[in-house]
Amino acid sequence: MTISIEKMADQFKLLGDKTRLKIVSILNQQDMCVCQLVELLQTTQPNISQHLRKLKDAGLVREDRRGQWIFYSLQVADHPHLQDVLQYLPKLEEEVQQKINSMLCE
């Protein structure tokens, strides 16, 4: 699959935002619901939802309903140029990972 320069530029522009890049980095490691991302990134639910909507509209994030919760996951299998970028993003620190594992969506 080939992708146009314009679409690639739009995707890289989306990742130029620090919050969206953090979301992508987190989702690269595991699926999350909005409440978990709000807690991790210390921002508001509307802010996270807006960023997720932009990433979803660009085809980079997928949502999956699990009971009453919607979980988000990264969808870059058909974007090899982004897969290469993801390998350079920092991994979550161990204490952050433990915090995530203890979070329950309420």
User: Tell me: the pLDDT tens digits for 52-75?
Assistant: 999 999 999 999 998 888 999 999
Indicate whether 75 belongs to any domain: yes
CA 83 to CA 86: how far, in whole Å?
5
**Whole-model pTM?**
0.84
83: left (phi over 0), alpha (psi -120 to 50) or beta: alpha
pLDDT tens, position by position, 22-59: 999 999 888 999 999 998 899 999 999 999 999 999 99
At 33, which CATH number?
1.10.10.10
User: Has residue 103 been placed in a domain?
Assistant: no
**Residue 67 domain-assigned (yes or no):** yes
Where are any strands of DSSP class E within the chain?
32-33, 61-66, 69-74
Looking at 21-60, which runs of residues are DSSP E strands?
32-33
